[in-house]
Copies of this chain bind each other. A is one copy, B any other.
Amino acid sequence: MDDDETIIRQALKEDLGSGDKTTDALIPVDLYGRARIYSKEPFIMAGIDIAKKTFQILDPAIEFRKFCEDGVHTDKGQCLAEVSGRVASLLKAERTALNFLQHLSGIATLTRRFVEAVKSYPVKILDTRKTTPGLRVLEKYAVRVGGGFNHRMGTYDGILIKDNHIAACGGIAEAVKRGKASAPHYMRVEVEVGSLEEVEEALESGADAILLDNMAPESIEAAVSLAEGKADLEASGGITLDTVETFAKTGIHGISIGALTHSVRAVDISMEIAI
């Protein structure tokens, strides 16, 4: 509903505070004009509607005409959107709108590269909870735009027993047992393991899904055989664009990548005004 709006308002507030002193000093209130938003490198677009909302929350009278949709590949120099209205409003919203667009498109672009790298395999590229504080919903949206799949939105919508939970419970078997006893009937129980022995322990204790953390491709392959038809398997831990295909080849069902959201390179986008 209005989560995007809250984030956008905060971002505008953070940039405009008690007023844009430059724009207020230079630009007549009744000057109207038009600006175009351009890509300055090729990327996968994500966030075009967030950019639109940013302009229109600042000034509902701004018209925003988009020339492409989220998910498309854009070339360098392509015009992505045209905004028109009060010039002072265009200038006030510019930086915030571009900050969203650059960050979210950065995520979608990186995700798409991972997705492309494993496209011959029936494996899902997944994100993690390693997101930028405050932006999780938007960042996970950008992952989907890039062709990835979302892992848990938070700790509230899935059971994932991690190493620290296991340490606190005293072992995988006990942790999974507790999980299966308490998990609501509409949720699976996933558990994180680090070795083939632990995979076996997880399977025996009845885990529905297993996250293989920092395991080598060969071990993962073995785990896939063990778990066949019994549990969903997911690999994670330092997997890069260079290594992702090797992991995909193991037959694993999902590969989760923290870098999709925690180490984003913004793409380059600019706005040019034309009176």
> Interface of A with B (CB < 8 Å)?
1-3, 7-27, 31, 33, 35, 57-58, 87, 90-92, 94-96, 98-100, 102-103, 106, 124, 129-137, 149-165, 167-169, 175, 178-179, 181-188, 190, 208-209, 232, 234, 253-254, 258-259, 262-266, 271-275
Contacts and interface: CB of A to CB of B under 8 A. Distances in A.
5 contacts: A3-B18, A10-B133, A19-B155, A31-B168, A133-B134
A131 B151 CA distance: 26
Nearest to A21: B159
Contacts of A129: 15, 95, 99
Given A26-B168, A178-B26, A274-B167, A160 B186 contact: yes
B130 A22 contact: no
A185 B155 contact: no
Given A149-B184, A188-B185, A264-B263, A20 B156 contact: yes
A133 B159 CA distance: 26
Contact of A179 (B12, B22, B175, B181): B22
Contacts of A58: 1
Given A133-B100, A178-B26, A164 B94 contact: yes
Given A103-B262, A182-B25, A14 B272 contact: no
